[in-house]
Amino acid sequence: MGMNLTEKILAAHAGKKSVVPGEFIEAAVDFCMGNDITAPIAIQTLEKYGLEPWDREKIALVPSHYAPAKDIKSAQMVKVMREWARKKNIKYFFEIGASGVEHILLPQKGLVVPGEVMIGADSHSCTYGGLGLFSTGVGSTDLAAVMATGMIWLKVPESIKFNYTGRPSGWITSKDMILQAIATISVEGANYMAMEHTGEAIKYLSVDSRLTLCNMAIEAGGKNGIVEADETTLDYVSKRSTKKPIAYKADPDAKYIRTVDVDVAKMEPLVACHPSPDNVKKVRELKGLRMDQVFIGSCTNARIEDLRIAAKILKGRKVNPNLRCIVIPPTPETYTDALKEGLIEIFMEAGCTVNTSTCGPCLGGHTGVLGDGERCLSTSNRNFIGRMGSVKSEVYLTSPAVAAASAVTGTISHPDDLVGSYEKHMAGAAR
């Protein structure tokens, strides 16, 4: 019987010819990561039992969630990471100034490549599957075990195949694609399952867009998200890493528990409404809904292509005086690129506030926490009650294009209504 992408990678790392869903395995890990919330607990566990790191060049420690430190407690958490990294000579501790949002930082640094098994102590570690590898999130004690042994204990997940047909057009992005997928199956529709994204529409997506597609697997309950590595992927990786990638392909007779078809050509820009990522509506259905804050950032949609599209909409326009717009480039590399391209200047002139690279408001951490009764339109991934602050606030999820247009109008708005069609706007921007 044939295997799909997830099964092939796990079989190879378990030293088996094949695996089947439901089977328990021990798999070798190629790389692991912890952030300032999860790593300190893992480190304290290692120290308690006198355990040494299995490989000092296969562990990344990334201060990202409350960094730069927002208070004494968060400063202490990063201090634990910093001191242990120095004591154990951990190669990839990213100090403030070199750090940022981990799920964007690691691919940029070439630390993960196709065919690998990557374990991260953060739920959105499923992001890396956009490169064609198995990647999933675990808790701090599981991370400690991985850091000590280089192995992970797993149950092989069942897989859902998402078949995206057509070509994305207009303002449609991979954010809309994954919102539509989650709306179709619900936030529990992929519980402990692999979400394998396939179809002709994938070839039109950049690697950054594929990472966005896999980022929200966890919002459907997924164990991991994954996209087959192709020439686009391998070109991206070759410019960033000296590691040898393996581009696995699903067998023609691979088994899936379900196939979900999504016609991308017929899609319209979408918004996931409060209080759940599967409460999805078309932008035009929400036209005029007032917002208090717009956030363009997070591990979902803060990459350079996201900042470019937001800047093209905001250029020459002003943020509505009845809301605030927060823009956070996710890494020093992206921030520098945005500076060189003049994007930061555009944001500032529009009246946005631009912050240092951090997760910040995405998890209600800092630099944009919501108060009672406030609404935020965000390019992030999660909008459950209290996610970005007060339990009496509301969060709506969307793409950078819709977020930028709405920042100008002050209400949820279709970019067409502000700048005209995508094709017309891009032609004007080119001039």
How do residues 235-269 score in pLDDT, each as one tens digit?
999 999 999 999 999 999 999 999 999 999 999 99
User: What's the pLDDT at 296?
Assistant: 98
User: What's the pLDDT at 29?
Assistant: 99
Closest CA to 217 of 103, 375, 331, 368: 103
Please tell me the distance from the alpha carbon of residue 418 to that of residue 34, in angstroms, as a whole number.
Answer: 41
User: What's the pLDDT at 431?
Assistant: 46
Ramachandran category for residue 50: left, alpha or beta (phi over 0 → left; psi -120 to 50 → alpha) = left
Three-state secondary structure string covering the chain: CCCCHHHHHHHHHCCCCCCCCCCEEEEECCEEEEECCCHHHHHHHHHHCCCCCCCCCCEEEECCCCCCCCCHHHHHHHHHHHHHHHHCCCCEECCCCCCCCHHHHHHHCCCCCCCCEEEEECHHHHHHHHHCCEEEECCHHHHHHHHHHCEEEEECCEEEEEEEECCCCCCCCHHHHHHHHHHHHCCCCCCCEEEEEECHHHHHCCHHHHHHHHHHHHHHCCCEEEECCCHHHHHHHHCCCCCCCCCCCCCCCCCCCEEEEEEHHHCCCEEECCCCCCCEEEHHHHCCCECCEEEECCCCCCCHHHHHHHHHHHCCCCCCCCCEEEECCCCHHHHHHHHHCCHHHHHHHHCCEECCCCCHHHHCCCCCCECCCCEEEECCCCCCCCCCECCCCEEEECCHHHHHHHHHHCECCCHHHHHCCHHHHHHHHHC
Ramachandran category for residue 120: left, alpha or beta (phi over 0 → left; psi -120 to 50 → alpha) = beta
pLDDT band for position 420 (cuts 50, 70, 90)? confident
Upper half-sphere CA count for residue 58 (Cβ side, 13 Å): 22
Closest CA to 259 of 185, 318, 366: 185
Q: Any idea which residue has 């909409």 for tokens? A: 313
pLDDT band for position 327 (cuts 50, 70, 90)? very high
Q: Give the pLDDT mean for 179-207.
A: 98
Q: Give the pLDDT mean for 117-131.
A: 98
User: What's the pLDDT at 396?
Assistant: 99
How do residues 346-372 score in pLDDT, each as one tens digit?
999 999 999 999 999 999 999 999 999
Token readout for 423 is 């094709």
The alpha-carbon radius of gyration of the chain (Å, integer) is 21
Which domains occur in the chain, in start order? 5-263 (3.30.499.10), 269-430 (3.30.499.10)
Q: Which residues are bridge partners to 396 per DSSP?
A: 377
Buried b (16+ CB within 10 A) or exposed e, 8-44: bbbbbbbeeeebebeeebebebbbbbbbbbbbbbbbe
Asked if pLDDT for residue 139 goes beyond 90, the answer is yes
Asked if pLDDT for residue 430 goes beyond 60, the answer is no
Phi, psi dihedrals of residue 162, rounded to the nearest 5°: -105, 120
| The overall pTM is greater than 0.85 | yes
Ramachandran category for residue 77: left, alpha or beta (phi over 0 → left; psi -120 to 50 → alpha) = alpha
pLDDT band for position 424 (cuts 50, 70, 90)? low
Give the whole-number percent of the chain exceeding pLDDT 70. Answer: 98
Cα dihedral 320/322/326/327 (nearest 10): -10
Q: Which residues are bridge partners to 305 per DSSP?
A: none
Q: Give the pLDDT mean for 63-73.
A: 97
Closest CA to 142 of 160, 122, 117, 162: 122
Environment class of 221 (CB within 10 Å of its CB; exposed 0-12, middle 13-18, buried 19+): middle
- The one-letter code for the residue type at 148 is A
pLDDT band for position 421 (cuts 50, 70, 90)? confident
